């Protein structure tokens, strides 16, 4: 039976480091959170960010814009936050109302205040192995892999999902560790080759958002499985991997919920501290 790779203990350890770093700073770090309109999912995420920030001694400031705010209004607001010396980090809550394109507006956040690590400058730095601020979910997966103690050098790693927040940045971070990285996506599935790739994975990372996409019987014996997926099935939250069969074959596996999730918001707070360091250096 696989060992459970739980995110909470890892998050607690990293939070302890963050707390110490926050205490050593001259000023309390300030995270500005921008929400346009009302959305239950975004509100829940904001609540969790607020709680984490408070726990770490971070000043969390929520700014609510109307659901009919325009792109230009949001960009103007971001520019104000950029210019405000008190603000160390800016996060835009998703989802945004349909008239606002996240990719467009997020580029207006100064790279040194981009705590989500999604500004092209920060993404570009990953390519050169120089990134200090990493996309939160990709960073959370890297922390979990570190926790396994596995040497990634030369490992056969398969990522399912090539989104900009998870699969793409992870592929670069793992290449930097000299792993052999295969990235699968909808084209792989349509070509009927997903199972073939998954079967060879010594480390499997899945972020597709499709419950049961990865059959437990595909998991290589002794593999490490990181399931990023979050899917609601009836009244249950499940990942993308068939957990019950996968845990019989893997050597370690993340539970869903309780694996990657608890670490993601911790990575956001760590990015804020990195942002402060960039701003004072
Ligand atoms: P996304 O932007 O929708 O990306 C999903 C990726 O999976 C895409 O690359 C997509 O390929 C691929 N995909 C979809 N169906 C597939 C299939 N049948 N076969 C192969 N690839 C397939 O989603 P995301 O934002 O990366 O999130 C992915 C999942 O992770 C979601 O369940 C989300 O809720 C979860 N998530 C969890 C956390 C956390 O903290 N635990 C954080 C972020 C996201 P194409 O683009 O080619 O269609």
Inter-residue contact 253 to 6 (CB < 8 Å) = no
Rounded CA separation 33/73 (Å): 15
Note the pLDDT of residue 214: 98
Print pLDDT tens along the chain (281 aa): 999 999 999 999 999 999 999 999 999 999 999 999 988 889 999 999 999 999 999 999 999 999 999 999 999 999 999 999 999 999 999 999 999 999 999 999 999 999 999 999 999 999 999 999 999 999 999 999 999 999 999 999 999 999 999 999 999 999 999 999 999 999 999 999 999 999 999 999 999 999 999 999 999 999 999 999 999 999 999 999 999 999 999 999 999 999 999 999 999 999 999 999 999 98
Residue positions counted in the chain: 281
Residue 4 has phi, psi (to 5 degrees) of -85, 130
Rounded CA separation 163/143 (Å): 19
Note the pLDDT of residue 281: 80
Say how many Å lie between the CA of residue 276 and the centre of ligand 1.
31
Closest-CA residue to 280 (of 27, 6, 40) = 27
Q: 228 CB less than 6 Å from ligand 1?
A: yes
Say how many Å lie between the CA of residue 82 and the centre of ligand 1.
31
Task: Give alpha helix (H) positions in the chain.
Answer: 7-24, 40-56, 71-83, 102-106, 120-127, 136-148, 167-175, 186-190, 194-199, 243-249, 261-280
Q: Which of 41, 136, 184, 186 to mutate to test the pocket of ligand 1 (most atoms within 8 A of CB)?
A: 186
Inter-residue contact 245 to 215 (CB < 8 Å) = yes
Say how many Å lie between the CA of residue 66 and the centre of ligand 1.
29
Residue 231 CA: which ligand 1 atom is closest? Answer: 32
Rounded CA separation 60/122 (Å): 22
Note the pLDDT of residue 41: 86
Specify the DSSP class assigned to residue 259: S
Say how many Å lie between the CA of residue 190 and the centre of ligand 1.
16
Residue 240 CA: which ligand 1 atom is closest? Answer: 32
Say how many Å lie between the CA of residue 197 and the centre of ligand 1.
17
């Amino acid at each position: 039976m696989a060992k459970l790779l739980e995110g909470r203990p890892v998050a607690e350890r990293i939070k302890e480091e963050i707390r110490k770093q926050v205490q050593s700073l001259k000023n309390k770090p300030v995270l500005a959170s921008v929400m346009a309109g009302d959305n239950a999912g975004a509100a829940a995420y904001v609540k969790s960010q607020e709680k984490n920030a408070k726990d770490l001694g971070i000043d969390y400031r929520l700014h609510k814009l109307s659901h009919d705010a325009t792109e230009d209004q949001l960009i103007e607001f971001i520019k104000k936050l950029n210019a405000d010396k008190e603000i160390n980090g800016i996060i835009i809550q998703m989802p945004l109302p349909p008239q606002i394109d996240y990719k467009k507006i997020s580029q207006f956040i100064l790279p040194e205040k981009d705590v989500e690590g999604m500004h092209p400058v920060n993404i570009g730095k990953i390519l050169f192995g120089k990134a200090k601020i990493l996309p939160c979910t990709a960073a959370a997966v890297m922390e979990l892999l570190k926790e396994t103690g596995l040497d990634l050098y030369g490992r056969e790693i398969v990522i399912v999902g090539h989104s900009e927040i998870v699969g793409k940045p992870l592929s670069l971070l793992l290449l930097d560790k000299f792993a052999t990285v295969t990235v699968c996506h909808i084209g792989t599935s349509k070509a009927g080759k997903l199972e073939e790739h998954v079967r060879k994975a010594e480390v499997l990372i899945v972020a597709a958002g499709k419950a049961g996409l990865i059959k437990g019987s595909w998991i290589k014996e002794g593999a490490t499985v990181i399931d990023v997926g979050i899917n609601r099935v009836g009244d249950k939250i499940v990942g993308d991997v068939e957990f019950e069969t996968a845990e019989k074959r893997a050597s370690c596996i993340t539970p869903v919920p309780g694996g990657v999730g608890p670490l993601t918001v911790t990575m956001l707070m760590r990015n804020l501290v990195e942002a402060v360091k960039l701003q004072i250096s």
